[in-house]
Amino acid sequence: MEQKRTVIVTGFEPFGEHAVNASWVAVQELQKLGLGHDINLHVAEVPVEYQAVQSLLPSLWTQHLPQLVVHVGVSGMATTVTLEQCGHNQGYMRPDNCSFCPKSCCCLEGGPDCIHSVIDMDAVCKRVNSSGLGVSVSVSKDAGRYLCDYTYYTSLFLGEGRSAFVHVPPLGKPYSAEQLAQALRAVILEMLELMEHNKGKNHCLHDQ
């Protein structure tokens, strides 16, 4: 009997102008949909706090031993569901919900400047956009140097690239929570399929 795969999907708590964080609302909707009977889906709400991320993420990875961790965040500038290809180590100068900012302005002192996901986001994007889902998907290489980027880099480091980050627009601009959840489901299933297909191939995770 094939062992069930485990996927963790997180959203963020409210912050700044986002009194309701579309990312967590969409992730809760995704939990209702599920990812299919052969995948264990765990969801978690992440605080918009640098120090909380540093303590929460290692426990998520070690407790559940996931094949994939997908972090979802909201972007007021986004009009599409945006797949982030990489996380950045430096440039974290914006205070979090506790008015805290890392003194070093980085995730991991001495860590690589940028870590890429093992997943080819362009390939995922093309597949989902050609599936007739009705939600537009795009790819980005700049997750914004705030908690989204910080979380993504930390997770990419912990999971050796087996992580993804998805930015969603605010609710109703233009998509509903249900539409966002359907898009997340389609994106994650494509990611898992690509990871399965690429098993055993070597990936270069860090920029030289």
> Any idea which residues carry the catalytic annotation?
148
Distance CA 47, CA 41 (A): 20
Inter-CA distances, 141 with 95, 117, 149, 200, Å: 22, 11, 10, 25
Strands 5-12 and 68-74, sheet pairing: parallel
Using DSSP, how many helices (H) and how many strands (E) does the chain show?
5, 8
Distance CA 190, CA 19 (A): 31
With contact defined as beta carbons under 8 Å apart, do 47 and 14 qualify? no
Distance CA 184, CA 72 (A): 9
With contact defined as beta carbons under 8 Å apart, do 186 and 128 qualify? yes
Secondary structure class of 43 (helix, strand, coil): strand
Distance CA 8, CA 6 (A): 7
Distance CA 128, CA 126 (A): 6
